[in-house]
Structure formats: C-alpha cells, structure tokens
Amino acid sequence: MLDVKTVDAGLLQSRYRLTKQRAAVLRALGDGTHLSAETILERVRAEMPGVSLGTIYRTLDILREIGLVQVFSFGGIAARYEATLEKHHHMLCTDCRSLVNVRIDALGEIARAIASHEGYSEIDFAMTIVGRCAGCTKRAVTAAT
C-alpha cells in the first residue's frame, strides 16, 4: 500500500501534481486489492459523482507512469490495478479469478541466471501462478460429493 510520503515523492519527481481525481484513485486503491478500472470508477464516484471512466483511465496511466500504480493483466482477463509497489508475483484462480500477491525471493536468482546465460541485461521479471484457490477447490469437492 502507498503512504503519503511515497505519493509525495513520486509526484515531486514528476511533472504532475496531486489533483482531486488522482488522490481519489489512490484512495480507491488504498486497501491493497487488485481492482478493475470500472471498480475504481465506482469507488471514486462515491466521493466525486461526475468522474468519467476516461478520466479514471487517464489518471491510472499517469499514476503508472509515475510509478505509484501497477497494472496486472493475464490470459484475457480485464486489467487490474494495484498500489502495492514492492516487487511481487501473482497467483490467479482459474475459477473465481481472485488475484493474490506473492513474494518469491529465489525467483530473482533464477531469472538473473537465465538472463545471463542468454546474454540479457537490465531484466525485469514477473511470474503468475495459475490454479484453483482453496475456496474454489473446497466448493468443487463439496459439489462433487
């Protein structure tokens, strides 16, 4: 999650200022969940009824450019946005489409070794583990019995 110092630092290093819309989008993302632009719009409209989806997308693009928001997209699901900026990876449920952040420190070593072997430098990497979450597994087992 973002704190005020992180937001201020990110904005100070950019050409942008903290507008009401940007602040509202950051508040909408403040609980650390992965939200679609439409869900962010609903949350922002609770305090700013006149905001459009286009404004949300433009604001998300700016916040992403500044480095205050990350976007996740995978396998045809709608893009989801988050304000968790630490390096992490994701687990995606194939049934309910829930998305969970995971940290795998050893993955960095593996990615760097592969990149080095192939002659790559200045790499970035992200892993998405896809499967069925515990809740959906339990429902499937219950339904099968």
Distance separating alpha carbons of residues 95 and 15, to the nearest angstrom = 41
How many of the other CB atoms lie within 10 Å of CB of 136? 16
CA distances in angstroms from 30 to 60, 62, 89, 116, listed in the order given: 14, 17, 19, 37
Domains in the chain and their CATH numbers?
1-85 (1.10.10.10), 86-145 (3.30.1490.190)
- The pTM of the full predicted model, rounded to 2 decimals, is 0.75
From the list 5, 47, 4, 8, the residue with the least C-alpha distance to 25 is 47
Q: pLDDT (tens digit, 9 = 90+) per residue, 10-60?
A: 555 567 778 888 889 999 999 888 999 999 999 999 999 999 999 999 999
